[in-house]
Each structure stands twice: as C-alpha cells, then as structure tokens.
Amino acid sequence: MLSAANGQGILKKLKDKAQQATDKMIDKKIDDAVGVDNNSNNNNSNSNSNSTDMSSVGRKGKPSNKTGEGLISTPPNVNENLTTADASFKAGKYSDARYATRQAMLGVQMEIGKKLLDGLPETISGLKKDASSDKVTSAGWGMGWSGLTIQRDYNQDDKQLSFTIANNAMWMQAVNMYFTNSGYMQTSGGEQKWKQVRVQDEKAIIEFDASSGYKLSVPVGQTTLLIYEGVNFANEQDFMNAVNQIKIDSIKKQLGEK
C-alpha cells in the first residue's frame, strides 16, 4: 500500500515536471510568434509598465496619455432600443433586431442592478458602504452566460464585507452541486473548511480560509447566487450577524425569483 502511494507520488511529480516543461515551451513559441523578446521585456517592465502592451510593441517614443475623461457610462436607452428592434424586425433585418434587443436587455439589467444597490443598507455592523466600489456588470448575453453581476463593499479599517449578486449566472450550478453531490460531505473531525447553514430560510454554504476569511454562498431561486465575503470578522457569529442585515426576500422579489 505504501509503495503504491509512493509510486503515485513519483508519477504526480513527473506529470507536474512534464506540464511545466510543456508550458514553458508553449510560452516560448507564442513569444517567438508575436516577436516579444523576454529579456528586453523583463528589463523594461520596471521602467515603463506600458512596454507589455501589444499595441506599443516595436514603437519607440510613444507618448503616455495625460488627459481624457474616459468613456461615458450611460446605460442603453431601453425604449429606444425596443423601437429599433421592432423596426429592424419588420424590415427583415434580424441581426440588427437582435443587437437592439440585446442593448435593451443591457439597459434593463443595469437598471435592475442600480435598484438593488439602492435597496441595500447604508451600514452593516458598523461597516460603512464604499460607494466607489458599487458595480453593476451586465454581459448583455442575458441567458446562461455571465448575466448580471452586482457588487457592493462595506469597510471599516481593516474589516470588510463584500457582497455580490450574480443573476442568470452559469456558475451557480457549481454551488448547487454541493447540495446534491453526496461526495461533498461535512466532517466532524479535523479542521472544518466549510459547512451547510441556513440563512433567512435559504440553504447556504459557509467557508473559512485563514488568509481570505469567511465566505457564504447562497443560491436563491433558479438563477441567482448571493456571495458574502468577510475579512477580519471575529468569528462565524459576528460574520453571520452582518450577513443577516441584508434582506434576501427583497432581493428575490426584485429579481423575480420564487
């Protein structure tokens, strides 16, 4: 039994070494193909961070940008895009109709996200909301793909609660797997890394990692996943008290989840 385990260990090491060698070779071939000199790249990376930007490869004396107000982040107008979709569809321009519909969907998703952020508490367990971290991301795919993601952080000194809502997210299937796969068993001995809990009547998974802190994942309804991440919370109860100040029912209602 011991020799079999040793054999597996050696095989694993050999596999890792082979993987490393293959990765190096592929990196080198890609660098050769795009004409990047590794040595010069490394030397330049300290003096100018733009040197790794593909657009400036081989161009000397490129000025660095000092002005510009960035991009306008106005969400697409839903009504205008729906009207365009209608007109394009009637004219048989299905590709244009699809683009306009996706733009309208993007607009409505951004509005949903903003409304959800407005409904979240201003402070949680003495942690203040960090308005600069508020983020609503919509991939515009709408179904199955990355969908809508809403983020909000609460901070006080080195204590932080990050809250993410992922709606229509493909990867929430991974969390549901915890609940359905008997292979993921809770242990009573040794160090407990994760366990199932209930939060406001929803089944959830809480995890703890010494370097990243507490993490709670709550799948809600059919297509929504809520993720709470707590850094520097004293204990599980302290973290759960903070989590419970965000009302899941209200989020479910706004996202049309049952």
Partner 1 sequence: MKKIIFLLIVIALCSQSQAQEFAKRLTEAKTAYSSGKLDDSRFAMEQMLQELDIITGKEVLKILPAKMGDKAANTKADNVTGSSGFFGVIIHREYGTIDSSNVDLEIISNSPLVSSLNALLSVPFMGSAGDNKTIKISGYKALVQKVTGPNERADYEVQLPLNTTLITLKAPGLSQDDVIKLANTLPVADIAKMLQ
Place of tokens 């971290």: 133
**Amino acid at position 235, single letter:** N
Query: Nearer to partner 1 by C-beta: 84 or 162?
Result: 84
Residue whose CB is less far from partner 1, 169 or 240: 169
Residue with token string 């070779």: 25
What whole-number distance in Å separates Cα of residue 167 and Cα of residue 29? 40
Taking the complex as a whole, the smallest distance from the CB of residue 130 to partner 1 amounts, in Å, to 25
Task: Tell me how far, at minimum, the Cβ of 160 lies from partner 1, in Å.
Answer: 29
In the complex, least distance from residue 221 CB atom to partner 1, rounded to whole angstroms: 11
Which CB, 146 or 200, lies closer to partner 1?
Answer: 146
CB of 238 to partner 1, least distance (A): 34
Q: What is the 3-state secondary structure (H, E, C) of 185-248?
A: CCCCCCCCCEEEEEECCEEEEEEEECCCEEEEEEEECCCEEEEEEEECCCCHHHHHHHHCCCCH
Q: How far is the CB of 149 from partner 1 (least distance, A)?
A: 15
Decide: helix, strand or coil at residue 82. Answer: helix
Q: In terms of CB distance, is 85 or 205 closer to partner 1?
A: 85
Binding site for partner 1 (CB under 8 A): 29-30, 33, 78-79, 82, 85-86, 89, 94-95, 97-98, 101-102, 104-105, 108-109, 111-112, 115, 141-145, 170, 254-256
Residue 6 corresponds to which tokens in the numbers above?
A: 């040793």
Measured between alpha carbons, how far is 230 from 155 in angstroms, rounded to an integer? Answer: 10
Instruction: Name which of 18 and 30 has its Cβ closer to partner 1.
Output: 30
Residues 6+ apart with CB under 8 A from 82: 100, 101, 104
CB of 91 to partner 1, least distance (A): 12
